[in-house]
Homo-oligomer: A and B are copies of this chain.
Amino acid sequence: MVQANDPARPRLQVSCIQFEPIFGDVAGNVSRSCELIRAAAASGSKLVVLPELANTGYVFQSTDEAAALAEEVPTGPTSEAWGALAIELGIHIVAGITERAGDALFNSALLTGPNGPIGVYRKAHLWDRENLFFRKGDLGFPVFETSIGKLGVAICYDGWFPETFRQLALGGAEIVCVPTNWVPMPGQPEGEAAMANTLHRAAAHSNGIFIACADRIGVERSQPFEGQSLIIGPKGWTIAGPASRDRPETVTASVDLGDAARKELSTFNSVLRDRRVDVYG
């Protein structure tokens, strides 16, 4: 039942950049992220993931504050900086950005590659006070066919919904890139690993996909973040990370995205085919 791997498929080095954006310092955040992307590319990475809202920081106090920092995608200065860097380095970048589209603000992530901008994803499930500032994502769960593979994107609280990864896997995603700003969960025992690590490992296993999560660190306006960025293989085992809770780190793995085509868990079982769609409501 196991499909032959495509022998022509090269391995892909993926990096998730965990760092601390400084609230409101867009120029500084973009500049710092570009340094870190350059370092990851210099080490051989061809796909680099940045955290959620990596250009602006996260904890907005008002819609006006969010609007003042938002930019159009892919025509704003942040998109142009990351876009130019991807072209220069010949890599793909997935990065969280505060997006303005007409009158609407979105918590978005752009995908840009060696040949320029590829697309944008808008966060479907909004966390906490994001509901005051952002509109819910209106682009569904797109899967982008690129020269390195089929990429999906999810942002932070999207990962709390198994439906997110099911949609992306059924859409053919081989790897889901997750720009995120994970926060502690209710009842979290002292020192326990982030619940998000558990959620994403389960999602990778149940869908047979790679998942690459780039989280931020630091405390912003009294909101702490969880760090623990990681890259997960298609059987749900962690293949890089998790990073620390509180230090800037780049988590890197070399993967064969063709492994995401092998959904089998036993001679008789394949995780997407075995769904009982006849009995799900």
What is A's interface to B at a CB cutoff of 8 Å?
124-131, 136-137, 140-141, 157, 160-163, 166-167, 170, 185-189, 192, 195, 198-199, 201-203, 205-206, 233, 235-237, 265-269, 271, 274-276, 279-281
Bound: A205/B159 CA distance, A: 11
**Inter-subunit contact A167/B280 (CB<8 Å):** yes
Residue of B nearest to A162 (CB): B162
**Inter-subunit contact B127/A281 (CB<8 Å):** no
**Inter-subunit contact A163/B129 (CB<8 Å):** no
Residues of B within 8 A of A141 (CB): 279
23 CB contacts below 8 A, A to B, read: A125-B274, A126-B268, A127-B268, A127-B269, A128-B267, A136-B276, A137-B276, A137-B279, A141-B279, A160-B271, A161-B206, A161-B274, A162-B162, A185-B205, A188-B237, A195-B201, A195-B235, A195-B236, A198-B198, A198-B202, A198-B236, A199-B205, A201-B202
The main secondary structure of chain A at its interface with chain B is loop
Bound: A271/B199 CA distance, A: 13
Bound: A185/B202 CA distance, A: 13
Q: Are A195 and B205 also in contact (CB < 8 A) when A163-B276, A271-B160 are?
A: yes
The listed residue with most B CB atoms (<10 A of its CB), out of A129, A188, A203, A265, is A265
By Cβ-Cβ distance, the 6 closest A-B pairs, closest first, are A162-B162, A202-B202, A128-B266, A187-B235, A163-B280, A124-B276
**Inter-subunit contact A161/B131 (CB<8 Å):** no
**Inter-subunit contact B127/A237 (CB<8 Å):** no
Residue of B nearest to A170 (CB): B281
Residues of B within 8 A of A268 (CB): 126-131
Residues of B within 8 A of A127 (CB): 266, 268-269
**Inter-subunit contact B160/A205 (CB<8 Å):** yes
**Inter-subunit contact B128/A186 (CB<8 Å):** no
Bound: A125/B266 CA distance, A: 13
Q: In the complex, what's the smallest C-beta–C-beta distance from A246 to chain B, in angstroms? A: 22
**Inter-subunit contact B186/A235 (CB<8 Å):** yes
Bound: A185/B265 CA distance, A: 7
